[in-house]
Amino acid sequence: MTVKYYEKLVMRYLLPIITVLFLLPFPAQALEPDEVVVVANSFVDGSVELARYYMKKRGIPRENLVRIKTTKKEFCSRDIYNDEIAEPIRDFLNKKSDQTAIRCLVTMFGVPLRITPHAWTQQGARQIKELQEEREDVQKQLTNLTEEQASQAKALTSRVAFFDSQIEKLKKKDDRAAVDSELTLVLRESYPIKGWVANPYFVSFQKQPSSVRKKDVLFVARLDAPTEKIVRRMIDDGLAVEAIGLDGTVYIDARWPKVDKEKRNTYELYDNSLHKTAEKISSQRKMPLVVNDKQELFQAGEAPDVALYCGWYSVNRYVDAFDWKQGAVGYHIASGECGTLRPGSSKGWCKMMLEDGIAATVGPVGEPYLQAFPPPEIFFGLLIDGYYSLAEVYFLSTPYLSWQMVLIGDPLYRPFNNH
């Protein structure tokens, strides 16, 4: 699948929905505690204790705890995922004797975050070798050009770039995924694992053909962070804020002024969604609002009192501009921002925002392509409405399952519930 293909998907599905989204009804029942199952890793100190703490705070039945036994590492192979994570969870869900329908899984601190791709196949290795040889031939032609042949340089350079992109795509091996995104389909024993699966809950796909149905899909959220203390703080913050409602300033970090034209490229489309997010919040929630439409991101000290945030684009380089309010929600649109949540030197936005005080965020474990992010206008529009829980907001706004994205936060959290 090429970048052009992804852009066509965006223009076909996301652009129309941004226009009509809030004219559509969303028949659903708000997520309840007894519809949640919590998954902890018995091999990681603190995982089960944190699960019990969360379940007690939220009134989730004690019997809704699944204790898996799997690697302590943040990543796992596809085989480990199947045998040590998916299978015991699937068995637990299939054996539940009560009549309560389980709609949501919560993966706790200690559950692996991402699935590594399969080892190379002989066919894949041959394809890469052939492309590399062709690239070398073209590169030699480019290097040996005379001044009289300079006009050929542009075409040859483009050809080298083409080979580079094809080699990179083969290396990505699209059976990689976030554990949580894969668990959304744990009730199905068979489905395509190459690339993504269209999410039937996504507002723009609900009337489109899909290889999975809504009843096949579980909501999945993660209560995870660099330390157990941060996870407890996230849980407590959500409950405290629900009692009074989230208050503070909204910060929107676009890259350009709003584009007022019918045809837009993918980047302009998402940038405009940030501007429309600001407009919607301004009209519906009446919260203080700051919009930055310059290339430079918010800098240190420029974003105090943050309740909601969305912006882009600083890859794995968190900019500490924010003073997060208790219960704050936000995400940064960039590649691999949830590649790790463990303590260490990583400057990924998810890890750093959690350390700084945010209560809930979204991010990818690997390159997701821009179109895999929840369009900000949809995500924040549903969030400020106050009816849906965080998990429902996320799954109505995220386009793909069995892919790279992760929701971090209490799935039952409703920051505007009191309104």
User: Which of 352, 71, 25, 328 is closest to 203 using CA atoms?
Assistant: 25
Residue 104's pLDDT is 97
CB 387 within 8 A of CB 329: no
Reported as a single tens digit per residue, the pLDDT across 44-91 is 999 999 999 999 999 999 999 999 999 999 999 999 999 999 999 999
**pTM exceeds 0.85 for this model:** no
Copy the structure tokens of residue 278.
């600001």
Residue 189's pLDDT is 77
CB 145 within 8 A of CB 152: yes
Question: How far is 341 from 355, CA to CA, in rounded Å?
Answer: 10
Residue 238's pLDDT is 97
Residue 277's pLDDT is 95
Reported as a single tens digit per residue, the pLDDT across 196-243 is 899 999 987 766 666 788 989 999 999 999 999 999 999 999 999 999
Q: How far is CA 318 from CA 226, 249, 327, 341, 343, in A?
A: 15, 20, 20, 14, 15
pLDDT band at 168 (very low <50, low <70, confident <90, very high): low
Residue indicated by tokens 């890469």: 128
Which pairs from 203-207 meet CB under 8 Å and 24+ separation? 203/17, 203/21, 203/24, 203/26, 203/378, 203/396, 203/397, 204/13, 204/14, 204/16, 204/17, 204/399, 205/13, 205/399
Checking if the pLDDT of 42 tops 70, the result is yes
CB 37 within 8 A of CB 92: yes
Which of 167-171, 319-323, 341-345 shows the lowest per-residue confidence on average (mean pLDDT)? 167-171
User: Which of 279, 247, 221, 180 is closest to 58 using CA atoms?
Assistant: 221
Residue 160's pLDDT is 82
Residue 174's pLDDT is 60
Number of CB atoms found within 10 A of residue 55's CB: 22
Using H for helix, E for strand and C for coil, what is the string for the chain? Answer: CCHHHHHHHHHHHHHHHHHHHHHCCCCCCCCCHHHEEEEEECCCCCHHHHHHHHHHHHCCCHHHEEEECCCCCCEECHHHHHHHHHHHHHHHHHHCCCCCCCCEEEEECCCCCEECCCCCCHHHHHHHHHHHHHHHHHHHHHHCCCHHHHHHHHHHHHHHHHHHHHHHHHHHCCCCEEHHHHHCCCCCCCCCCCCCEECCCCCCCCCCCCCCCHHHCCEEEEECCCCHHHHHHHHHHHHHHHHHCCCCEEEEECCCCCCCCCCCCHHHHHHHHHHHHHHHHHHHCCCCEEEECCCCCCCCCCEEEEEEEEECCCCCCCCCCEEEEEEEEEEECCCCCCCCCCCCCCCCHHHHHHHHCCCEEEEECCCCCHHHCCCHHHHHHHHHHCCCCHHHHHHHHCCEECCCEEEECCCCCCCCCCC
Q: Kindly list the domain boundaries of the chain, sorted by start residue.
A: 3-24+226-408, 33-117+175-216, 122-172
**Burial environment of residue 82 by CB neighbours within 10 A (0 to 12, 13 to 18, 19 or more):** middle
Q: Which of 142-146, 165-169, 214-218 has the highest mean pLDDT?
A: 214-218
Cα-trace Rg, the chain: 22
Please compute the mean of the pLDDT values over residues 238-256 and round it to a whole number. Answer: 96
Question: How far is 211 from 241, CA to CA, in rounded Å?
Answer: 38
Checking if the pLDDT of 2 tops 60, the result is no
Please compute the mean of the pLDDT values over residues 31-56 and round it to a whole number. Answer: 97
Checking if the pLDDT of 325 tops 90, the result is yes
Residue 9's pLDDT is 44
Residue 113's pLDDT is 98
- On average, the pLDDT of the chain sits at 87
Reported as a single tens digit per residue, the pLDDT across 391-417 is 999 999 999 999 999 999 999 999 997
Listed in sequence order, the residues at least 6 apart from 58 whose beta carbon sits closer than 8 Å to its beta carbon are 33, 36, 235, 239, 410, 412
Angle CA 145–146–148, to nearest 5: 120
Checking if the pLDDT of 11 tops 70, the result is no
**Burial environment of residue 287 by CB neighbours within 10 A (0 to 12, 13 to 18, 19 or more):** middle
Reported as a single tens digit per residue, the pLDDT across 102-141 is 999 999 999 999 998 766 545 666 777 788 888 888 888 8
Residue 193, sorted as left (phi over 0), alpha (psi -120 to 50) or beta, turns out to be alpha
Residue 99's pLDDT is 58
Residue 239's pLDDT is 97
Looking at per-residue pLDDT, the higher value among 418 and 138 belongs to 138
